[in-house]
Chains A and B, each alone.
Chain A
């Protein structure tokens, strides 16, 4: 079991649907991250929140919209996704984004399939 919890574990949606991925951590971490991972590839950074403020947006299409309601929660809102967006979406957290010796802790991910 990981200390970063993601829901749902699996999601199948059509290209016209709107859905949200959720992530929660109770380690007191102040940095939270969204990654996208395709099969046999390393994780690709999408967004970084630091102290509940969006600090990094890696040129992600607007059909992905992150939200950080509080220091423990991170959401990723999905709308009008494309088949190529099918992937494992990973949430991670770390104590502080700029403490170089602090690892990122990952959730188990949401396996997303776009029909």
Chain B
């Protein structure tokens, strides 16, 4: 079967750096997305990885290792507004347009 694992909850301090990990076990691989979702709001697209390596976008970076079935989202210079859930999603290799979602990681930022 297809499976995605993320930590349920993480806590970090304002101004610090945090890394949110995602591991996946799927029969194939067509790309991995990271979304941010504030409570009661829509998921917002953050990043897409399909090749190994690091993609950087301002304070946010995402890394992928296909051989390890592993990705992480790195958030730098944390701000209070970064408190949200972070969802990892992998394209279903059997159905390219469907996303297999992780349960999400709730990130709590403390002053």
Partner-B contacts on A (CB < 8 A) = 2, 4, 31, 40-43, 45, 48, 50, 56, 88, 90, 94, 97-98, 100-101, 103-109, 111
* A38 to B97 CA separation, bound complex (whole angstroms): 22
**Residues of chain B at interface, number, CB under 8 A:** 24
When A43-B101, A88-B40, A111-B40 are in contact, do A105 and B91 touch as well, CB less than 8 Å?
no
Q: Which residue of A lies closest to B39 (CB)?
A: A39
Question: Given the complex, which residues of A lie within 8 Å of B63, measured CB to CB?
Answer: none
* A64 to B98 CA separation, bound complex (whole angstroms): 20
Are A97 and B96 within 8 A (Cβ)? yes
Are B101 and A100 within 8 A (Cβ)? no
Are A103 and B41 within 8 A (Cβ)? no
* A97 to B50 CA separation, bound complex (whole angstroms): 17
Q: Which residues in window 5-50 of B have CB below 8 A to A?
A: 30-31, 33, 40-45, 48, 50
* Minimum C-beta distance from A21 to chain B (A): 14
When A42-B103, A42-B104 are in contact, do A108 and B42 touch as well, CB less than 8 Å?
yes
Question: Given the complex, which residues of A lie within 8 Å of B50, measured CB to CB?
Answer: 100-101
When A41-B103, A48-B97 are in contact, do A103 and B45 touch as well, CB less than 8 Å?
yes
* A101 to B98 CA separation, bound complex (whole angstroms): 12
Q: Which of B42, B95, B99 contacts A90 (CB 8 A)?
A: B42
* Minimum C-beta distance from B26 to chain A (A): 13
* A107 to B40 CA separation, bound complex (whole angstroms): 12
Are A103 and B48 within 8 A (Cβ)? yes
Q: Which residue of A lies closest to B88 (CB)?
A: A42
The 5 residue pairs across chains A and B that have the minimum distance between CB atoms: A42-B101, A97-B97, A106-B42, A103-B45, A100-B30
B87 sits at the interface (CB 8 A): yes
A sample of 7 inter-chain contacts (CB < 8 A) reads A42-B89, A90-B43, A101-B31, A101-B50, A106-B42, A106-B44, A107-B42
Question: Given the complex, which residues of B lie within 8 Å of A106, measured CB to CB?
Answer: 42-44
Q: Which residue of A lies closest to B34 (CB)?
A: A103
Q: Which residue of A lies closest to B30 (CB)?
A: A100
